[in-house]
Structure 1
Amino acid sequence: MNAPDNLPVNHPLTPASRDAADAVAVVIPSYKVTRHILGVIAGIGPEVARIYVVDDKCPDGSGAFVREHCVDPRVVVLEHAENQGVGGAVMTGYRAAIADGARVMVKIDGDGQMDGSLIPAFIGPILAGEADYTKGNRFFNLERLGAMPPLRLFGNAVLSLMTKLSSGYWDLFDPTNGYTAIHADCARYLPFEKISKRYFFESDMLFRLNILGAVVADVPMDAVYGDEVSNLKISKIVTEFFTKHVRNFGKRIFYNYYLRNMSVASIELPLGVLLTLFGAGYGLSHWIASARSHVETPAGTVMLAALPVIMGVQLILAFLAHDVASVPRRPLHKKTLYRSTP
């Protein structure tokens, strides 16, 4: 990351201070946020060496607005020729930050919902070698949840459950939280071209990170809602999110339990599903036949239907217990550093 000329010795872009800051970069997707973007930039502390504002074909010309009104020398404005969504904007920022030598990249929104003073809390676990990726969790402080609209509260709870299943990170919550940080050595392994570019971006990132075996940690933060306007329409993304979660769940199970490794859990899941479906189907067909003939179902038939269901459910629960225990615990970027050590 090259610093501009004639900067003060203690400026975040000078070589000495950059070493102390471990080359932290911030990526800000910019779309219809001209009212808030300058305040967001001003709230970013000296621990950050470079700020990438990515104008995602903003109709308000936020990129030109930042160039004209922002005097912070850390700011670099990147522009898309066409709108790519929040995920596409973040990937553009990641690529630029990695190319400039960033070690940790923080993503915050430009609408003022995310407190820039929390950046040290997000990069701390990564720089300490405890995590590859950190994300905000607005549900940690239960006393402050009153600030979150009820519909978002319910929606996040449902999305969290689906994301746990599809991503395999059972110890995380608030999956759609866009306040994140990632180690560059971990980001280099991500298939940028395959990650969802729209509103499914955060959930898809977790799925991709689990496939890599990256360690992800939640960072407590408060929910903040002001006069920002959300471009997310819940009614339009429910079906899309559900379909993509099912797809990612299937991929994760195949990759982690059959392609890369096999264990007892690889047998428990399909056998449990088959037994449950057989028992349920067998019992339902005999129940319908008995109802039509007005003849009570024999006890032996009931047991023959119930036993596979009981066994199947137990096997599925055993698989889930194994899956919960398999959450990655050793940071990926530490493994990368070990491999690169002469």
Structure 2
Amino acid sequence: MNSLAPPIVNAPAATHTAPIAVVIPSYKVTRHILGVIAGVGPEVTRIYVVDDKCPDHSGDYVRANCQDPRVTVLEHLENQGVGGAVMTGYRAAIADGMKVIVKIDGDGQMDGSLIPAFVAPILAGEADYTKGNRFFNLERLGAMPPIRLFGNAVLSLMTKLSSGYWDLFDPTNGYTAIHADAARFLPFEKISKRYFFESDMLFRLNILGAVVTDVPMDAVYGDEVSNLKVSKVVTEFFGKHVRNLGKRIFYNYYLRNMSLASLELPLGILLAGFGAVYGVMHWIASARSNVETPAGTVMLAALPVIMGVQLILAFLAYDIAAVPRRPLHKKTLFRSKP
């Protein structure tokens, strides 16, 4: 249950036709939070600082030291994690009539001057959701610690499979922006509230058919302390990615739609599995009896494997081509009512 504290002062009226909100989850970021707020440009109408039961009472700290009239402090009675804090900010921004909602962290890693770059594809009708990509500029990757570099590469591959957004990278990047008309259809209560939040968001957006675009940005690491341990989350995330992959395939290829790809995947798995099991069984039998396996048996094992792999690759090619291309917020069914 959330307790929403009153805003510092009434936020000023929007001076443009596209009111933009910024959501800043706040947990153990007291040293950086004021600088983050100060870095948010005048194009932003409202700033929601979500105190996620911070032990440093960052919400009270912002109230006492921040004079920006755009700031509203929201508080949780219990810690809900970054995902829970962002969902609270989304709800508040939607209720206040914001059109685009940007999420940045409160630890100073994200440059507030990039907000227009994240918002532009959404306002241009090209995307429903934008996210940062620190891997775009290969010359600047030296700033990223090697363990993070490796972990993000592994997580990116798993996220491509589970989310269906094959053209995206850097899934744990928390610098994001979303159109309010897309955000309002998200199942807020089902989205992961902890560190799997960013990857789970992509899975939920794919189920809705939202268009997602990467925005190039540089990796910035200062004296902030990250609570995310890549070495732990890679194994923790694996099971959740497998779960989301199964759900996405069922929803997109069997529940809502049927296509040739719906047949290619199960047939490919069955053929490859049969060939592999049949071949291994006969290989073991031949090794034990010290008798050479007949050529016909080898072919009977190899052909299903080859055909199965080809069918699975055909399914992957179809899945890659099926990445959403038409923005969700431009579809009549999903447009918010006046």
Under a length normalisation based on structure 2, what TM-score does the superposition of the two structures give?
A: 0.95
Matched, 1:236 2:232: yes
Equivalent position amino acid for 1:316 in 2? I
Question: Aligned equivalents of 1:331 and 1:273: distance in 2?
Answer: 33
**Native 8 Å contact 1:195 1:205 kept in 2:** yes
For residues 158-211 of structure 1, what are the alpha-carbon distances to aligned partners after superposition, in whole Å with 9 as ceiling and x for unaligned? 000000000000000000000000000000110000000000000000000000
What displacement does 1:237 show?
2.4
Q: Residues 14 and 86 of structure 1: is their aligned pair in 2 closer, same or farther, counting only changes over 3 Å?
A: same
Matched, 1:35 2:35: no
**Native 8 Å contact 2:87 2:188 kept in 1:** yes
Tell me the secondary structure at the aligned position of residue 35 of structure 1. helix
Aligned to 1:13: 12
What displacement does 1:4 show?
5.8
Matched, 1:192 2:188: yes
Equivalent position amino acid for 1:321 in 2? A
Tell me the secondary structure at the aligned position of residue 166 of structure 2. coil
Equivalent position amino acid for 1:136 in 2? G
Tell me the secondary structure at the aligned position of residue 86 of structure 2. helix
Aligned to 2:118: 122
Please list, as runs of the form range in 1=range in 2, the aligned pairs for 1:176-187 lying within 5 A after superposition. Answer: 176-187=172-183
Q: Residues 124 and 337 of structure 1: is their aligned pair in 2 closer, same or farther, counting only changes over 3 Å?
A: farther
Aligned to 1:216: 212
For residues 40-86 of structure 1, what are the alpha-carbon distances to aligned partners after superposition, in whole Å with 9 as ceiling and x for unaligned? 00000000000000000000110000000000000000000010000
Aligned to 2:149: 153
**Native 8 Å contact 2:131 2:173 kept in 1:** yes
Please list, as runs of the form range in 1=range in 2, the aligned pairs for 1:1-342 lying within 5 A after superposition. Answer: 13-15=12-14, 17-19=15-17, 22-336=18-332
Q: Residues 28 and 89 of structure 1: is their aligned pair in 2 closer, same or farther, counting only changes over 3 Å?
A: same
Q: Percent identity?
A: 85
**Native 8 Å contact 1:3 1:13 kept in 2:** no
Tell me the secondary structure at the aligned position of residue 27 of structure 1. strand
Question: Aligned equivalents of 1:204 and 1:86: distance in 2?
Answer: 12
For residues 100-124 of structure 1, what are the alpha-carbon distances to aligned partners after superposition, in whole Å with 9 as ceiling and x for unaligned? 0000000000000000000000000
Tell me the secondary structure at the aligned position of residue 331 of structure 2. helix
RMSD of equivalent CA atoms: 1.7
What displacement does 1:341 show?
8.6
Question: Aligned equivalents of 1:14 and 1:233: distance in 2?
Answer: 41
What displacement does 1:97 show?
0.4
Equivalent position amino acid for 1:36 in 2? H
What displacement does 1:331 show?
0.1
Aligned to 1:9: none
Under a length normalisation based on structure 1, what TM-score does the superposition of the two structures give?
A: 0.94
Equivalent position amino acid for 2:84 in 1? G
Equivalent position amino acid for 2:81 in 1? G
Equivalent position amino acid for 1:13 in 2? P
**Native 8 Å contact 2:152 2:170 kept in 1:** yes
Q: Residues 253 and 182 of structure 1: is their aligned pair in 2 closer, same or farther, counting only changes over 3 Å?
A: same
Question: Aligned equivalents of 1:341 and 1:335: distance in 2?
Answer: 13
Question: Aligned equivalents of 1:236 and 1:166: distance in 2?
Answer: 19
Q: Residues 341 and 51 of structure 1: is their aligned pair in 2 closer, same or farther, counting only changes over 3 Å?
A: closer
Query: Tell me, which stretches of 5 or more residues in structure 2 are unaligned?
Result: 1-6
Question: Aligned equivalents of 1:268 and 1:260: distance in 2?
Answer: 17
Question: Aligned equivalents of 2:61 and 2:113: distance in 1?
Answer: 24
Question: Aligned equivalents of 1:220 and 1:236: distance in 2?
Answer: 26
What displacement does 1:255 show?
0.1
Tell me the secondary structure at the aligned position of residue 254 of structure 2. helix
Question: Aligned equivalents of 2:240 and 2:32: distance in 1?
Answer: 32
Q: Residues 233 and 4 of structure 1: is their aligned pair in 2 closer, same or farther, counting only changes over 3 Å?
A: closer
Question: Aligned equivalents of 1:243 and 1:341: distance in 2?
Answer: 39
Query: Tell me, which stretches of 5 or more residues in structure 1 are unaligned?
Result: 6-11
**Native 8 Å contact 1:133 1:182 kept in 2:** yes
**Native 8 Å contact 2:129 2:212 kept in 1:** yes
**Native 8 Å contact 1:88 1:198 kept in 2:** yes
Q: Residues 169 and 141 of structure 1: is their aligned pair in 2 closer, same or farther, counting only changes over 3 Å?
A: same
